[in-house]
Amino acid sequence: MAKKKISRRNFLATGPAVAAGSAISARGLTQESEAVHGTPPSGISLRVQSLISVLTKKGLLDPKAVDALIEYYETKIGPHTGAQVVARAWVDPAFKTRLLENASSTITELGLTGIGNSRADLVAVANSAQVQNMVVCTLCSCYPWALLGLPPSWYKDFAFRSRAVIEPRAVLEEFGMTLEEDVEVHVWDSTADLRYLVIPERPEGTEGMTEEELAALVTRDSMVGVEKLQPYRPEGEV
């Protein structure tokens, strides 16, 4: 699925999304609205700069460390790590069994020595023809970031956090997922120090692919459980 980069500023600038949100919420029909989320007070950017400047001058924060950590979050961690785990689970059933039993220790077999400083254990849950798993954190935005990188904005938004547990099927539809009649939805609310990774079903048409080729097919959203991987069609075929 092509992901269009869209900034919240653009949402605001283009108007309709937020305008629709407020207009509709005034009428009390919010489910029809595009999105309802907070907009930080104007001047917040200055307030952040001012706090960071004080912390820096007082020696409490090293600007080089800030850059290094931003770089770490933006380039070193990301869904490619989770994808590696999923691909191995697809090709090695014994690995998958161990992974579902104890994910934190099993991922060390791939040289993944920890799941960051999230102080949490990792849990893997597998989709099947009958079960679609989906991950949320209703209380904050807990996310298996060492395997998937930092969470997308939609994961942190109020709409996802509030609705994933009460109307998961409607939410999945908004992600473009249609479920077969007999499929159960299992929602995992990350209420404690456990972080969830969904193992999506291996797409059709991938027989004979290498682990590396398979990993390249695994998307972030499929590992949060809001996207089903489409059957693989070699380029040029329709």
Q: Among 124, 188, 218, 222, which residue sits at the site for other proteins (rule: CB under 8 A)?
A: 188
Give residues 82-121 in contact with other proteins (rule: CB under 8 A).
104, 113-117, 119-121
Give catalytic residue positions.
Answer: 137, 140-142
Considering the rule CB under 8 A, would residue 42 count as an interface residue with other proteins?
A: no
Considering the rule CB under 8 A, would residue 54 count as an interface residue with other proteins?
A: yes
From 87-95, 159-167, 205-213, 230-238, give the range in contact with other proteins by CB under 8 A. Answer: 159-167
Report CA 225 to chain centroid distance, whole Å: 8
How many helices and strands in the chain, by DSSP H and E? 13, 4
Task: Determine whether 72 is exposed, middle or buried from the number of CB atoms within 10 Å of its CB (0-12, 13-18, 19+).
Answer: exposed
Considering the rule CB under 8 A, would residue 232 count as an interface residue with other proteins?
A: no
Count of residues that bind other proteins according to CB under 8 A: 103
Q: Among 97, 169, 210, 212, which residue sits at the site for other proteins (rule: CB under 8 A)?
A: 169
Task: Determine whether 114 is exposed, middle or buried from the number of CB atoms within 10 Å of its CB (0-12, 13-18, 19+).
Answer: exposed
Tokens describing residue 4: 């269009």
CB of 6 to other proteins, least distance (A): 6
For the chain, the maximum distance between any two Cα atoms, rounded to a whole number of angstroms, is: 61
Three-class SS state of 199: strand
Please identify, using beta-carbon distances, which residue of 32 and 213 lies nearer to other proteins: 32
